[in-house]
Amino acid sequence: MRHDFQIAHNSGLIRGSLVPVLAITLFCIFVVIAIFNTFVATKDYEGEIIERDIKKLADAIHRIEKDCKIYTVESTLNSINFLNVKSFVGSQVGPINLKHPERWQGPYMDRNPSIQSIEYLLVRTKKGYFVTPGKGVRLPNGKIVGEDIKLDEDSDIEAMMKDEQQFGYKGKSLAAPVDIKKRGPFYIPGAPLHYSL
């Protein structure tokens, strides 16, 4: 009889210590999953968001080029904050000057996307126009646009899109080219200057 009591007593002891061990193990697993989601999955998700936004922005600017014919882009680095404009007066909307502003089909987007509360850029280079994340954005690869990744008219953004230390990230491109045609000389009525591209 005494032997049966010891077995029952030992079984309770094992069962009593097994529950806290399982609880602690499950807690540790949840902590590891939370850390993974915070530091790894978030970067991948942010890369997907940037890639999606860049594609939408490039498509919208392409439609503007097709509808209105973009004459000029104001500077080298231009904030994309004009796609939600429904109508405007004159030939300029945001940083772009249009040949046919009367053909504007806006708004081209309901809202102007941003990442990390920073607007995307339309960048004018010697090799063409590109949509990129804005200056100050920390990319999923850890690089900061405008600090680690320099943007100016000499930038080779097409090559940067393939470089994992620039605008490339796990086979994704975090920038996109935009086909804006170069146009010949044009005249602004009433203006004494001759403008050309």
Domain that holds residue 71: 2-178
Query: Does residue 152 lie in a domain region?
Result: yes
Residue 13, in any domain of the structure: yes
Task: Give the number of other Cβ atoms within 10 Å of residue 141's Cβ.
Answer: 18
Amino acid identity, position 16: G
* Residue 69, Ramachandran bin (φ over 0: left; ψ between -120 and 50: alpha; else beta): left
Print pLDDT tens along the chain (197 aa): 555 545 445 555 555 677 788 888 888 888 887 777 666 667 888 999 999 999 999 999 999 999 999 999 999 999 999 999 999 999 999 999 999 999 999 899 999 999 999 999 999 999 999 999 999 999 999 999 999 999 999 999 999 999 999 999 999 999 999 999 887 555 555 555 544 44
pTM: 0.76
| 53, part of any domain | yes
* Token pair recorded at residue 52: 């999606």
In a domain, 83, yes or no: yes
Name residue 144's beta-bridge partners: 138
* Domain annotation covers residue 116: yes
How many domains would you assign to the chain?
1
Asked if the structure places residue 191 within a domain, the reply is: no
CA distance 130 to 123: 5
Residue given tokens 């680095």 in the structure block: 77
Residue 7, in any domain of the structure: yes
Q: Evaluate whether residue 186 is within a structural domain.
A: no
